């Protein structure tokens, strides 16, 4: 059987870091990583390329665009693409790539590690091999591979900073997993891929995320508007609850709409979220994020605000129309999961 041709793009993060007494003191180049990894199995032919090398807390929208362009330019030459990335912002990157790269013709798999590859206890070896297996699966989409599981890119959430089982799928089971049978993929629930692959890397950086607190007044949203923020994502209590009995909410939301600033409402309990109730309790003037992860809601709004709109259509109306589409399996319903 012909080996699968895989492109591996490195961007830094713990997996390739060199630890020191007070934190990382540098990053290994792809060539320096190979001896620590032990090399790819014979089932894969792997080509390595360094895109950038930095801790993921420093990854900015410009890096998302750079990475999306690099991935898009290599679709035709490879069976799959693997990206190594730091774990702290990995879920933001995987979500944004899911929107910037609609209808990918091949698997794009993002992975990383909690322990550097230079350590004999590193989880990076198994994570890389899991990512390679998914990249060679022939199932198109953007995915995260971590600790023996595969998650859809726009559903992944980092839930642990010390445990090796660091990522989970918001509100749903994983997409695939490694077992004694190898890579097990229940294909039926996966969304069908359709349409022509595209690169849509325009985005709006001025999207704020606000985790609601009992001390807040709705006027804080107007402060964000005055500071030039063009979109706001609110994490409401539980499944997305807000203290609407307090004065000012209808007026504030109406004023934000007049200023053409969309507001998306998500919940703070991402492990269990009821799709129907989350949408039903969303107040007028807000866009329901339903059971999306915060990472997906923020990156999707950034992406939606930069997409084309019809003549005469307001920015808010256009962003809302784009946002309501399930573009990358980022929403789900219980009983009919797009992520299981």
- Tally Cβ neighbours within 10 Å of residue 199: 15
Q: What is the DSSP secondary structure assignment for residue 119, as one 8-state letter?
A: S
Catalytic residue at 14?
Answer: yes
Backbone angles phi, psi at 44, to 5 degrees: -130, 145
- For 170, the 3-state DSSP assignment is coil
Closest among 31, 21, 32 to 118, alpha carbons compared: 32
300 alpha carbon, distance to own chain's centre: 9
Closest among 175, 231, 162, 169 to 203, alpha carbons compared: 231
Backbone angles phi, psi at 194, to 5 degrees: -150, 155
Find out whether 191 and 331 touch, Cβ atoms under 8 Å. no
Q: Out of 11, 14, 294, 316, which one is annotated catalytic?
A: 14
- Catalytically active residues are 14
């Amino acid at each position: 059987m012909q080996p699968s041709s895989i492109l591996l793009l490195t961007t830094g993060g713990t997996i390739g870091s060199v630890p020191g007494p007070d934190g990382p003191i540098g990053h290994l180049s792809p060539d320096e990583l190979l001896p620590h990894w032990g090399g790819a199995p014979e089932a894969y032919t792997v080509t390595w390329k360094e895109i950038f090398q930095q801790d993921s807390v420093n990854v900015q929208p410009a890096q998302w665009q750079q990475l999306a362009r690099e991935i898009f330019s290599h679709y035709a030459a490879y069976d799959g693409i693997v990206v190594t990335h730091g774990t702290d912002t990995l879920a933001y990157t995987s979500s944004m790539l899911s929107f910037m790269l609609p209808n990918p013709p091949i698997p794009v798999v993002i992975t990383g590690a909690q322990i550097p590859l230079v350590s004999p206890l590193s989880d990076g070896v198994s994570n890389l091999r899991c990512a390679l297996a998914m990249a060679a699966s022939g199932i198109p989409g953007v995915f995260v591979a971590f600790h023996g599981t595969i998650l859809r890119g726009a559903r992944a959430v980092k839930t642990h900073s010390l445990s090796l089982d660091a990522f989970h799928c918001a509100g749903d089971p994983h997409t695939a997993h490694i077992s004694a049978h190898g890579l097990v993929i229940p294909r039926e629930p996966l969304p069908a891929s359709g349409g022509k692959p595209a690169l849509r890397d325009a985005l709006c950086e001025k999207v704020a995320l606000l985790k609601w607190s009992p001390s807040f007044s709705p006027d804080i949203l107007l402060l964000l508007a005055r500071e030039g923020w063009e979109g706001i994502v609110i994490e409401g209590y539980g499944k997305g609850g807000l203290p609407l009995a307090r004065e000012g909410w209808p007026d504030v939301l109406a004023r934000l709409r007049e200023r053409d600033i969309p507001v998306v409402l998500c919940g703070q309990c991402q492990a269990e979220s009821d799709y129907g109730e989350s949408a039903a309790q969303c107040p007028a003037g807000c866009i329901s994020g339903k059971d999306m992860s915060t990472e997906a809601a923020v990156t999707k709004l950034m992406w939606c605000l930069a997409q084309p709109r019809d003549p005469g259509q307001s920015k808010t109306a256009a962003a809302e129309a784009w946002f309501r589409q399930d573009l990358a399996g980022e929403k789900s319903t219980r009983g009919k999961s797009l992520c299981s």
